[in-house]
Amino acid sequence: MLPLSGPGFSLFEQNIPLAIAIVVGSSVAYAGGSTMQHVAVGRLVDKGADNRAMNLRQLWRLIRTPLWLLGLFTIFIGASAHIVALMMAPVTVVQPVGILAVPWAVLMASRIHRHTITRAMWLAVATTIGGIVVFTLLSARAASEHTVLDPVAIAIGCSVICVIGTCLGLLGWKGPVQLRCLMWASGGSFFYGLSAGMVKATSEVVKQDGFHGMPIFWVVAPFLVLSYGVGGFMVQQALANGPAEITVGSMTTTDPIVAVTFGLVVLGEGVRITPLAGAGMALAGVFAVWGVVLLSKHHPDAARPKSPLPASSQVAAG
């Protein structure tokens, strides 16, 4: 079993530089795993269909695909490293660093699919990274080292995030074709952002009270399981409806914004934030999200052909 502490070392002691280094490594693993899963998913869906949402039979086939399982294992390694980092630094510092997965995913996908990375795509990536960097710097300066565990506030915050994530998922299922990948990924990002907040809350429960604070544990645990399960389902649907770079871009942008907001508002990490810093974070978040929207617009897959007309329609047209 992995020791949580040792002579002069503890996973629960704050160590921001080490936590950031760990998250940089986890971003590479996440980008690689997502790219592998996208390739596996692409073999099961009809790329000419308007709605590529996978049914239960396709999902069952997917989870038995070796390439998809390898991608899952790679993501698991990255997620485990990310959890370790969350134990060593505030969620407002750790979560945004995962945005580095975007350029990794763009580079990996360009090599696999042999498409050219255009200037517009790099500009979109730079906009996203720039927005998240500013967001991180502002949140890190305002972050408190102490986390507040209020069961009522956590339950309300989790419920709000779940409702928003579900609405985005519905848009991914029934919304405009060109936005379905982004909406599925954004919905999954809300749930994954919630999971990061739950991991942080769980580590604080262990650090402060062990598992003696059972009421808060029974608030955190169900939402933690729900966020990972629903978030994972939505991410796979996003991969079925568009390129891995869009999914990774949305995940590593919306996810940290949700997680940081949860940390600041619900977990009390924003007690030192000023109105000016809050406005700057909001503006930086808008830029980061806009970068992902631009990436989805200028990606080669955005120009995919529409599904062919039925034979009866072609005859009528003639």
pLDDT digits (tens, 9 = 90+) for 263-280: 888 888 766 777 888 888
Query: CA-to-CA distance for 24 and 272, rounded, in angstroms?
Result: 27
The amino acid that residue 271 corresponds to is V
**Tokens describing residue 203:** 């580590």
* Whether the predicted pLDDT of 165 surpasses 60: yes
pLDDT above 80 (res 315): no
Whether 23 contacts 98, CB under 8 Å: yes
- Whether 135 shows a pLDDT value over 80: the answer reads yes
Quick: pLDDT tens for 3-26: 455 545 455 577 888 888 898 899
% of the chain beyond a pLDDT of 70: 82
Helix orientation angle between 275-298 and 119-142, rounded to the nearest 10 degrees: 160
For 81-112, what is each residue's pLDDT tens digit?
988 887 888 766 776 777 778 888 888 877 87
Q: Which residue has the tokens 């971003």?
A: 27
Which DSSP category does 10 fall into?
E
Each residue's pLDDT tens digit, 276-302: 888 888 898 888 888 888 887 776 655
pLDDT level of residue 144 (50, 70, 90 thresholds): low
pTM of the predicted model over 0.85:
no
Higher pLDDT, 44 or 318: 44
Q: How far apart are CA 215 and CA 89, in angstroms?
A: 24
22-36, 219-233, 248-262, 291-305: segment of lowest average pLDDT: 291-305
CA dihedral 254, 255, 258, 260 (to 10 degrees): -120
Nearest-5° Cα angle at 102, 101 to 108: 85
How high is the mean pLDDT of the chain?
Answer: 79
What is the tens place of the pLDDT at every residue in 200-212?
Answer: 787 777 776 655 5
Contact 270, 144 (CB under 8 A): yes
pLDDT of 125 > 80? The answer is yes
Tell me what pLDDT residue 122 has: 87
> Across 91-95, 181-185, 308-312, which has the greatest mean pLDDT?
181-185
State the number of CA atoms in the 13 A half-sphere of 50 facing the CB: 8
Q: How many CB atoms sit inside 10 A of residue 228's CB?
A: 17
User: 146 and 268 in contact (C-beta within 8 Å)?
Assistant: yes
Q: What is the pLDDT of residue 73?
A: 94
Nearest-10 crossing angle of helices 244-265, 180-209: 40
Sign of the C-alpha dihedral computed for residues 119, 125, 128 and 130 taken in this order: negative
Q: Where are the alpha helices (H) located in 151-310, listed in sequence order? A: 151-174, 180-209, 214-241, 244-265, 275-298
CA distance 16 to 139: 13
What pLDDT does 158 receive? Answer: 93
Closest by CA position to 300, among listed 50, 108, 114: 114
At 11 the pLDDT is 55
Q: What mean pLDDT is predicted for residues 62-86?
A: 89
pLDDT at 48 over 70: no
